[in-house]
Structure 1
Amino acid sequence: MRVGLAPMRDLLHRLGAPQARLKVVHVGGTKGKGSVCALVEAGLMRAGLRVGRYASPHVEAITERVCLQGRPVEDAVLAGALARALDAHEAARRDGTAGLEATWFDVLTAAGLAIFGEAGLDWAVVEVGLGGRLDSTNAVDGAVAVVTNVGLEHTEILGTTRAAIAAEKVGILKPGAALVTTLAPDDEAGAVLAARAAALGCPVLRPTLPDAGSIAGENAALAGLVLDRLGAGGACGRDGARLGADLLDAETCAGARLPGRLERRVVPTARGPVPAVLDGAHVPFNLAAVLRDLDRDPGLPGTCTALVALAGDKDAAGFFAVLARHAAAVVCTEMPERRGHGAAALRALAAAEGLEAEAVAIPDAALARAADLAARRGGWLLVTGSLHLVGALRAATEAP
């Protein structure tokens, strides 16, 4: 893990400090940050504003990471910005300055911010990559910082407790900004966030959420608070009206849905089309929320068969303990080019939780097998555990 942001700041300085020209909403957290970014983007666009959104990871194409007006930038635009960022990196290497230590994510983030700096944006919505305090995106200063929630994730980098992880995530909060979060001050992680906000003199805004609310409802509530805060600070839409949560009507929220987040698809099989849900949930508490929402959905018939791949740093045993309460069977697979749990090892962990489990190492074959099992049971398929898995298989599914 890096120890500072000097390499990123060096790159941006060499690119003309594009981040200094941006008004930013900065969004971090364990789950929901991408969806909250998309909702804030949609609300700002509905107000007639020009908006950029920086996201990670992508699902199918790297251009998804840099969006202007809700659309991924053209390949040539991103390629040109990457070339300039790589030139800055090479110049830093030549000069022996901090930028010589820049990572791939630094270069990509610098390219995205360069595109935004040249685009004449009213607002940029920037999603944290990992953690917050030392993340490449923390070279920006957000008018609002969002920490959606905090779970145990990337513990080898961020810390082994929710409090330690919260300290990293709230590192995106800057003096003069407001903090938006779901976490109460008496929560282990929420107390860390509240203390940091108090130390900086920053207000904390928390949505009022029902006890059994949906993921979509929680994300919309957070995005609405962001828009309310911007409006309270004097930010207006193109028509002169103050920004606010009322911009997020049902149509706007529906248009802000991202691929791989509770996404409905269909998998064709010899027995007929199988309903499928693609969701990149990869930590137990996120999976529990996803399955809670899906259990309420009358449009998903019969039992759930799951197709799972997990990165090596994920709590696979905890993941299957949650899945076993909802699914009848699981097919375990792996992403060969990524360091993850092997399919056979996942199958053993799933079987230990009482799941009917199989291992099929090749993702395409695993999808075919899992869809066939779901079709035989008259049920539906959940593809989960990794957005990379979702991205690899999404093209093999169809819109419903």
Structure 2
Amino acid sequence: MTPQQRLATREFFGIKLGLDTMAALVEALGHPERTFLPVIVAGTNGKGSVTAMVSRALRAAGLRAGRYTSPHLVHLRERFAIDDVDVDDDVLDNALDAVFDAEAALLSRAALPGPATYFELTTAAALVVFRAAAVDVAVVEVGLGGRHDATNIVRAPYAAITSIAFDHMAHLGDTLAAIAREKAGVIMPGAIVVSGVGDHEAAAVIADTCAAQGANLVRADEDAEVDVTMHGGETTIRLRTPFRAYGPVRLALRGGHQVTNAVVAVRLLEALEFAGVGGGAKAITTGLADASWPGRLERRTLANGVPLVLDGAHNPAGAEALARWLREAGFWPMTLVTACMRDKDVEGLLSPLLPLATRIVATAVDFPRALPATDLAATIRALAPGLPVQVAPSPAAAMAAASEHRARAVVAGSLLLVGAVRAWLDAAPVTRDPA
């Protein structure tokens, strides 16, 4: 069994929050997290986009940059990147072997309460990968929450909190303030914290946490001016911060919501530059203009000419951002291909998208938390009684059904669905949209 196959056996162990296992693992591994400068990015939506922008800008500044994100869409390797290039299987397998060896030694002397989870193992492997690659900086995306997330073992002196919205309420709480408290757990004593949070209740929690930790809070929009031009679904900005002016620059990542993410990324990069890490206007604008984040408003074209958009929207805030972009880009009416997890706010997720659809193809991914396609279809029919709904047994069958109608299509509702469709696309004769 290969290391990646061993890891896959832990995939369905569920979620375990807390840092005890991670603390034991990194000690057994010789503290790889202390060999580079960690930058942590938390938030409900936008954290992956900010991670991608910051990592790209640091590479453009001449630094060796690591990037750790989750989940992956198709291949596990996607979670681990050095200078924006996914690591190869040999590098990942070597890191996983080291982590499994450390775990086995700890378990043998009862120094762990039980086996590590999938996410704990991948996070520890990322730290080992970064040490082996001798990265200068590692940009680490939080998995779930912040305070008890495995990534928080890095104790980063630089942090961003992109947004606070309702998601994962069973683990993080059912108010924005409660969710903000969990996200704010990444704030270390004396850290520089850039916040894109606009909600007053959540913003107050972040400000209070910074004050309690003696951290320096930078509100991303404070003393910043942004001019935004939207055309054909693409976004161009001019940005002026207290430090310098940028632009015009066309954002590589689509959607009006990426403006806030870009401002957060710039203010975080400026904070790093002030400390002598990376920097320069050219490097920062390169981060905004060249960042790559697949499966987020990703445009594709099927072999039969059907235009397609893939988006990882999996909570109400993400769905609302997707709906706004679809209207701005004129990418509607459309066929919606969707699948959801049982623990999500399915009605809140679908409600912004259903008015833009002429038909729905409901499916399910192969995952324990997946909502059965028939249950999803029943929810859709209750929300929009006059909308045609087709049930497909798999994402591949769903895409075949959507393709038959030769109408523009949107895939959304779950990152796992986006990953399954991307795998299907990789096996089919498709092209990327040149736009």
**TM-score > 0.5 by shorter chain:** yes
Question: Take 2:154 and 2:217, find their aligned partners in 1: how far apart are those partners?
Answer: 20
User: SS of the residue aligned with 2:329?
Assistant: coil
User: In structure 2, which of residues 274, 285, 308 is the aligned counterpart of residue 276 of structure 1?
Assistant: 308
Q: State the match for 2:374 in structure 1.
A: 344
User: SS of the residue aligned with 1:125?
Assistant: strand
Contact 1:63 1:73 in 2 (8 A): yes
Shift of 1:341: 1.1
2:145 is aligned with what amino acid?
Answer: G
Question: Take 2:113 and 2:120, find their aligned partners in 1: how far apart are those partners?
Answer: 9
The one-character-per-residue Cα deviations of 1:35-91 (angstroms, maximum 9, x if unpaired) are 110100010011011000011000111011110011011101100110110011111
Q: State the match for 2:175 in structure 1.
A: 161
Q: State the match for 1:228 in structure 2.
A: 270
User: In structure 2, which of residues 289, 297, 312 is the aligned counterpart of residue 262 of structure 1?
Assistant: 297
Shift of 1:328: 2.2
- Do structure 1's residue 141 and structure 2's residue 155 form an aligned pair? yes
Question: Take 2:134 and 2:358, find their aligned partners in 1: how far apart are those partners?
Answer: 51
Q: State the match for 1:386 in structure 2.
A: 414
Question: Take 1:384 and 1:341, find their aligned partners in 2: how far apart are those partners?
Answer: 14
2:283 is aligned with what amino acid?
Answer: L
1:261 is aligned with what amino acid?
Answer: R
Shift of 1:254: 3.9
2:276 is aligned with what amino acid?
Answer: G
Shift of 1:318: 1.1
Contact 2:38 2:157 in 1 (8 A): yes
Q: State the match for 1:303 in structure 2.
A: 333
The one-character-per-residue Cα deviations of 1:169-204 (angstroms, maximum 9, x if unpaired) are 1101101211111114x6121111111011112122
Contact 1:228 1:245 in 2 (8 A): no
- Structure 2: runs of 5 or more not aligned: 1-14, 229-254
1:352 is aligned with what amino acid?
Answer: A
Question: Take 2:135 and 2:367, find their aligned partners in 1: how far apart are those partners?
Answer: 37
Question: Take 1:196 and 1:190, find their aligned partners in 2: how far apart are those partners?
Answer: 10
User: In structure 1, which of residues 185, 195, 199 is the aligned counterpart of residue 212 of structure 2?
Assistant: 199
User: In structure 1, which of residues 208, 214, 225 is the aligned counterpart of residue 256 of structure 2?
Assistant: 214
- Alpha-carbon RMSD: 1.9
Identity of aligned residues (%): 40
- Do structure 1's residue 361 and structure 2's residue 393 form an aligned pair? yes
Change in Cα spacing, 1:82 to 1:104, as seen in structure 2 (3 Å) is same
User: In structure 2, which of residues 364, 375, 378 is the aligned counterpart of residue 334 of structure 1?
Assistant: 364
Contact 2:54 2:287 in 1 (8 A): no
1:168 is aligned with what amino acid?
Answer: E
Contact 1:320 1:349 in 2 (8 A): no
How many residue pairs match? The answer is 383
Contact 2:17 2:149 in 1 (8 A): no
- Do structure 1's residue 324 and structure 2's residue 338 form an aligned pair? no
Question: Take 1:106 and 1:55, find their aligned partners in 2: how far apart are those partners?
Answer: 13
2:324 is aligned with what amino acid?
Answer: R
Q: What is the TM-score when the length of structure 1 is the normalising length?
A: 0.91
User: SS of the residue aligned with 1:296?
Assistant: helix
User: In structure 1, which of residues 105, 110, 127 is the aligned counterpart of residue 119 of structure 2?
Assistant: 105
User: SS of the residue aligned with 2:319?
Assistant: helix
User: SS of the residue aligned with 2:139?
Assistant: strand
The one-character-per-residue Cα deviations of 1:307-336 (angstroms, maximum 9, x if unpaired) are 001111111111121112322221110013
Shift of 1:99: 6.6
- Do structure 1's residue 124 and structure 2's residue 164 form an aligned pair? no
User: In structure 1, which of residues 31, 34, 42 is the aligned counterpart of residue 45 of structure 2?
Assistant: 31
Question: Take 2:367 and 2:19, find their aligned partners in 1: how far apart are those partners?
Answer: 28
Contact 1:333 1:360 in 2 (8 A): yes
Contact 1:275 1:381 in 2 (8 A): yes
Question: Take 1:177 and 1:325, find their aligned partners in 2: how far apart are those partners?
Answer: 44
- Do structure 1's residue 189 and structure 2's residue 224 form an aligned pair? no
User: In structure 2, which of residues 68, 88, 93 is the aligned counterpart of residue 79 of structure 1?
Assistant: 93
Question: Take 2:109 and 2:71, find their aligned partners in 1: how far apart are those partners?
Answer: 31
- Do structure 1's residue 248 and structure 2's residue 280 form an aligned pair? no
Contact 2:17 2:150 in 1 (8 A): no
Contact 1:307 1:367 in 2 (8 A): yes
Displaced runs of 4+ in structure 1, greater than 6 A? Answer: 209-213
Question: Take 1:325 and 1:211, find their aligned partners in 2: how far apart are those partners?
Answer: 30
Question: Take 1:104 and 1:162, find their aligned partners in 2: how far apart are those partners?
Answer: 28
Contact 2:18 2:150 in 1 (8 A): no
Contact 2:319 2:350 in 1 (8 A): no
Shift of 1:262: 0.7
Q: State the match for 1:396 in structure 2.
A: 424
